[in-house]
Amino acid sequence: MNVIIVISAVFVTIVLIVYAFFLYRLWNRCAKLKNSLHEIQNKNENPTNTNFQVKNGNTNQTPTKITLGEKEIDIIVDVVMPRLLKCIELEQKDVQNGISQQSSHLYEKYLKEKNGEFLSHETSNADEGKFKLLNIQGNKAKFEFSGKVADFVSPDYFDKACEFSNNPKNVNPIRHIKTIEKGEVESQPDGIWKVTKKAKIKFE
């Protein structure tokens, strides 16, 4: 369980770093926007005359002077800033979703053995596991049957761990065993998990 706590702390740290990074990007974009607006204002305060050549002769035309005060700049920033923040929030959600998916994948475990209401012998190999742990939170988790039909010897195999939604004797041959309601387990010493709520399975 200490490994799970360490992994959780690492992912929380990563999320906080990503969030801080996006806040920095927001601040940096706003600063660049303000600088650009100030540069535009400075150029307009010192306009350069431009000569336009026309067929009838030379005509001097002075560009229209546009003055942006501090108030106008603040208004522009206030309008643009929420849009930038929205974009960054969307980017952050995408990153967090990616981290969440990776975290959920890491927290999946498989158990190879069953003895009554106790599941044991953890493995990361899905092909070896007969029961899959999901949504592990501290010493509690959900579980479902993840074994093959060949692992099913008799209805007694699922005793104290699963209940049936249909009678396996009425399904011949059995091609698939599907979990329709996840069960719940609680961790015990030495990597053993005790079933506190049975899973419901269906034979197809």
- What's the pLDDT tens digit per position in 167-197? 998 998 989 999 999 999 999 988 899 999 9
Range of 40's domain?
2-105
Q: What is the domain count for the chain?
A: 2
Are residues 114 and 98 part of one domain?
A: no
Give the DSSP letter of residue 172: S
Same domain, 81 and 6: yes
pLDDT in tens, 126-162: 888 899 999 888 899 999 999 888 777 788 889 999 9
Region of 191 (left: φ > 0; alpha: ψ -120 to 50; beta: rest) is left
Of 177, 157, 154, 156, nearest in space to 166 by CA: 177
Q: How far, in Å, CA of 163 to CA of 180, rounded? A: 10
Rounded CA-CA distance 171/173 in Å is: 6
Q: Report the b/e string of 50-70 with b at 16+ CB within 10 A.
A: eeeeeeeeeeeeeeeeeebee
Last residue of a domain, one of 47, 78, 105: 105
Q: Are residues 114 and 161 in the same domain?
A: yes
Is the confidence at residue 101, as pLDDT, over 60?
no
